[in-house]
Amino acid sequence: MKRLFNPLFHAVLNLALMTGGFSVVSGSQSFASELAATPPILLASADPSRFLATPVLTSPDSLISKALQDIRATRMDDALKQVNRAIALRPDFKLAHLIRGDLLMARARPLAGLGPVAKAPNPSLDDLRDEARVRLMRYIDQPDPDFLPRQILQLAPSQKYALLADTSRARLYLFENVDGVPRLKSDFYMTIGKNGTDKRKEGDKRTPMGVYRIAEQLPRAGLADLYGDGAFPLNYPNEWDQSQNRGGHGIWLHGVPSNTYSRPPRSSDGCVVVANPDLKELTRWIKVGSTPVIITDRTDWVARDTWEQSRNELLTRLQTWKDDWEARDPDHFLRHYSTAMTSGAGATWARDKRRNIQEKNWIRVNLTDVSLFLYPGGDMAYTEFTQRYSSDKLSGLSSKRLYWRQENGGWRIALEKAQDIPISTNLAQR
């Protein structure tokens, strides 16, 4: 990945938006102080020549991005043409109307900022400016086509597609499963909670961070107009959230009201929101119960060798866990678990597990449909798989989920959950 130092990055972005006194990060800071205070920006692309590449003008998003680039180059007439085309496609695109008004006013005086300058704070204008910024970032900060997202390390065969919500870029990435490897298929502008991420309690208007799945599909009929053309509830709070006492519910992926093309980047009550045309497109690829949705603060785009190293490290740990179980070595097996699971309140579970292993004459464990994900921050991982267990006394089939954390320099299981899959034989004791 490429680090682009503040002056170049902010100069490009501020010039592209013709912001003048408008600050990219905060309207209350000056451009100069922002340059001094903000650390270098980590871009998705390793190739600086990709910055501000001309977008393919087939959508309102791309037309607005091209208009902003034309404004930067003082091609005001060209910018107005792009904006008019965007409005023709989506008359309800508020940002396009704002830019059009600015361009018309620019014929009488120089364009000094995005939206009319107001003496008092204007939250609506700030929202639209933020939307302009993240939409333009879609074209400045494109991922290198050879890079892979470290948050998705392996997809099971049943997971044909996966969604990765990058909250800092306001982009929802759609990946296709190619032999277990995520291949970027498309991406969409999205909205998250008014107060950002890291949801902890009911009503905090934050979007949760973690690995989730599409739990069900709710058709437009019967839904309030707020949710647009449909909704896909997520399984928040998941098992890890519950173990951490994270509250709240009703986190959905859904559309926008019928009279709106898009909402500002932070304007939901915690849901992930996309434009109605994008929701219809996503509906083609989402499979209820199997499509994973990873929500992170920033996608970690890495070279394939780095991605493979992360994947192999976690796969090796999973394989060693399985091997030590089959070897009926309780000491080595229990070392794969965090101290929280084997001491204190977890001591009883560890004692029962040790006895369970020792009383078997032989154990066989087969893992299939393995998927691997990293949580935001990279110090926590999630694996799920189908487990076929057999021994001289019991056998069974289950869907198992392991939540791993970095502890003492390696991955340790911090939470283990399983759900039996009915078969004709007895269920395994785990």
178-234 tens-digit pLDDT: 999 999 999 999 999 999 999 999 999 999 999 999 999 999 998 999 999 999 999
Whether residue 430 lies inside any domain: the answer is no
- Looking up residue 412, the CATH number of its domain turns out to be 3.10.450.50
Reduced to 3 states (helix: H, G, I; strand: E, B; else coil), residue 134 is: helix
Residue 134 sits in the same domain as residue 225? no
User: According to the model, what pLDDT value does residue 124 have?
Assistant: 77
Helix (H, G, I), strand (E, B) or coil at 2: strand
Please give the radius of gyration of the chain, using alpha carbons only, rounded to the nearest integer: 25
Q: Residues 231-248, buried b or exposed e (16+ Cβ, 10 A)?
A: bbbbbbbbebbeeeebeb
Range(s) of the domain holding residue 289:
148-301
Q: Among the three residues 140, 159, 180, which one is the final residue of a domain in this structure? A: 140
25-80 pLDDT per residue, tens: 333 333 333 333 434 445 555 454 544 455 567 788 888 888 887 887 788 899 99
Residue ranges of E strands in 21-112: 41-43
15/114 same-domain check:
yes
Say whether both 208 and 125 belong to one domain: no
pLDDT digits (tens, 9 = 90+) for 399-411: 999 999 999 889 9
360 and 279 belong to one structural domain: no
> Does a structural domain hold residue 41?
yes
Mean pLDDT of 127-152: 86
In whole angstroms, what is the distance from residue 186 CA to residue 174 CA?
5
Residue 230 Ramachandran class (φ > 0 left, ψ -120 to 50 alpha, else beta): left
Higher pLDDT, 128 or 146: 146
Q: Are residues 290 and 220 in the same domain?
A: yes
Is residue 175 located within the same domain as residue 195? yes
Counting the structural domains of the chain, the total is 3
Q: Are residues 193 and 257 in the same domain?
A: yes
